[in-house]
Amino acid sequence: MALIDLQNISKQYDTKIILKDANFTLNHGQRIAVIGQNGQGKSTLFKIIMKDTEPDSGEMAIDKSLKIEMLDQQPKFKANLLVRDAIEEQLAELKSAKNEYESITNKLLTNYEDEELIRKQSELASYLEFHNAWDLDNMIERVLVEFQLKQYEFKDVNLLSGGEQRRVSLAGLLLKKPDVLLLDEPTNHLDVYMVEFLEQLLLKNNFTLLFISHDRYFIDNIATSVVEVEGGVLRKFNGGYSSYLEQKAQLLENMQKDHENLLRLVKREAHWMQRGVTARRKRNERRKSEYFDLKKQARSNPAQIRKMSLELQREQKSFNTDDNQKNKKKMLYELDDICKTLGDKKLIENFTTRILQKDTIAIVGPNGSGKSTLLKIFMEKMTVDSGAFKKGDFDIGYFDQQRDSLDDERNLLETFCPNGGDRVILDDGRNMHVFGYLKNFLFPREYLDKKVGTLSGGEKNRVALALLFTRKVDCLILDEPTNDLDIPTINILEEYLQNFQGALIFVSHDRYFVDKIAKKLFVFQGNAQIMESHQPYTEYLEIEKEIKDLESFEKEIEKETSSQKVVQTVKKQTKLSYKDQREYDMLPEELEKLELKLEEINACLMDPKCYEQKGIVAMSKELDETKEIYEAKVERFLELEELIESFNS
């Protein structure tokens, strides 16, 4: 049975149709990625499921007992709330359940035959067990460490960065283990290591998941299916992002074949119209109507096919490997043993490099390692502490998420043509009509008169990007350019960047984007060291992981070797010490007593009257503790026996 079932859902804002007769089903264990251009209905679908907005028509079947939780793009917290308290606040339901369980357990000490209390206690025990919530303080402690939040534990959550706030929200959300988890751009502002941790966590806990994301590797690793929202329609594809591309290509091929068949049918019907429609007007009115419908469809199909074909071409483009102009490159930056410290934290130490005219460089590494600082050095907004920094005479184009270059009071025509007229000159010298250019960035003609201040965040990002490529610059510096962009816009950005003739320096945690664009990596390794690499980013990450696994393995080997040396030293003994001998003699009796105790506890746990009187939680805890003591003593007994045998060998 489906957890969420939407049938023929429609939603319209003013004259804009967002969803039209859309069908959507989510089953237990599915992880569905929702993709599509911004403004097409992804967020509306989420709002309908969360019951934050009502559809205009259609039917919804969502179980009332279903616990659905959602992570917003921008989490909101109360004022003056500490990080630890912010996580604990999200677990209020678990805390309440634990308190109720303890209260019922106390009541059962005197009312141990009350069936309603026993039933309620059992339900609460199952609930707490499922959420692993017997020890909430330990849960919070563990999640603070896992989500790299321990250092901010007693800091005001509202003073953290966007990425850190999302980690706080995610931590609490995942601990709640909802029946269905909705995530809106979960990887935004997270570094690649935290993204990989999130992937592992979601897969390990087998969450039923519905998520919006532009991170194509994340989709590929997580999604069991992909739903594309386009023109009010939901189109489902099985598998991850790579499967989606294959199926989309097949869909395009089928559309082209269908269109060819349609054209043949239109041609045949046209001949029929010419021959006999006048004489049989009444009788053939329906056929005439069908002919005009076919003709209309035939006219609209090519536009859809062209659009889909263009998107696929953008997506499937490989690395730009044109190295023919290497000798014509000029020096832009020269860095020689530069160092930089902020506060008491050393970020860059003895870094040397050269950046040439056609270099495309991705700056990668954990959050807080110094990537943005290096960008600011390149922008000359920050100076180095030591070493030599040289910058050539050239123009820089800069893009960040603040969109400082935009004037909210100007419309799009004024933004792109500030001196009047309706044409723009691009960085490659092309002269285009402003509408023709903006169409490439998915803006319809009616947007030309819209003021920038009325646009959504994603639309403003598209404007800022489009504006960037109208400026004649030698070097582009981009700070997290794919954040808050939909996949179609990212594909357009990638196309323009691959055709850009100057140098490109960018910070990004988007593994797919880095793999596709970068020819060189500046990797912040977390110890103020920056390593240059010419590998694809995912390959570098894989090797890095293998090295860490190898180091861990070597440490284990060292530990084992050291342990063996200790044993060898002990072998020189000829008999047990007085203390060890006494322990060895007493252990069989102690083990026998523990075995009897374990039998008693197990027998009690099988008898409702017994465990209800003593408390099932207390009994379970006692069983675990006794088992632990028993196993430790068995291990010690075997260790001493082995030692005695070594004396005789």
Pairing of strands 31-35, 209-212: parallel
CATH of domain 578-648: 1.10.287
Confidence of residue 296 (pLDDT cuts 50, 70, 90): low
**C-beta of residue 373 within 8 angstroms of C-beta of residue 382:** yes
Residue 646 has pLDDT above 80, yes or no: no
pLDDT above 90 covers a percentage of the chain that reads 20
pLDDT of residue 289: 61
Q: Which fold has domain 331-544?
A: Rossmann fold (3.40.50)
Query: Tokens 């390692």 sit at which residue?
Result: 369
In the chain, the N- to C-terminal Cα span, in Å, equals 66
pLDDT of residue 256: 72
Residue 575 has pLDDT above 60, yes or no: yes
Mean pLDDT of all residues in the chain?
82
Residue 299 has pLDDT above 50, yes or no: yes
Confidence of residue 478 (pLDDT cuts 50, 70, 90): very high
Residue 592 has pLDDT above 90, yes or no: no
Residue 44, classed as helix, strand or coil, is: helix
HSE-CB of 119 using CA atoms within 13 angstroms: 3
Residue 218, classed as helix, strand or coil, is: helix
Nearest to 340 by CA among 530, 506, 164: 530
Average pLDDT rounded to a whole number, residues 472-496:
87
Give the number of other Cβ atoms within 10 Å of residue 68's Cβ.
18
Pairing of strands 4-13, 16-26: antiparallel
User: What does the pLDDT look like over 515-540, one tens digit per residue?
Assistant: 999 999 999 988 899 999 888 898 88
**C-beta of residue 399 within 8 angstroms of C-beta of residue 481:** yes
User: What does the pLDDT look like over 333-355, one tens digit per residue?
Assistant: 999 999 999 888 899 999 999 99
Residue 283 has pLDDT above 50, yes or no: no
Residue 287, classed as helix, strand or coil, is: helix
User: What does the pLDDT look like over 369-379, one tens digit per residue?
Assistant: 889 899 999 99
CATH architecture of the domain with range 68-241: 3-Layer(aba) Sandwich (3.40)
Residue 549 has pLDDT above 80, yes or no: no
Is the model more confident about 133 or about 228?
228
pLDDT of residue 614: 76
Confidence of residue 30 (pLDDT cuts 50, 70, 90): very high
Average pLDDT rounded to a whole number, residues 267-288:
53
Residue 328 has pLDDT above 50, yes or no: no
pLDDT above 70 covers a percentage of the chain that reads 84
The residue type at 224: T
The answer to which of 6-10, 218-222, 398-402 has the lowest mean pLDDT is 398-402
pLDDT of residue 309: 63
pLDDT of residue 319: 30
Confidence of residue 279 (pLDDT cuts 50, 70, 90): very low
User: What does the pLDDT look like over 412-428, one tens digit per residue?
Assistant: 999 898 888 888 888 77
The answer to which of 302-316, 468-482, 635-649 has the lowest mean pLDDT is 302-316
Q: Rounded to two decimals, what is the model's pTM? A: 0.64
The answer to which of 105-109, 572-576, 618-622 has the lowest mean pLDDT is 572-576
pLDDT of residue 325: 42
Nearest to 164 by CA among 91, 83, 92: 83
- Per-residue 3-state assignment (H helix, E strand, C coil) for 142-189: HHHHHCCCHHHCCCEHHHCCHHHHHHHHHHHHHHCCCCEEEEECCCCC
Q: DSSP alpha helices (H): ranges in 16-78?
A: 42-49
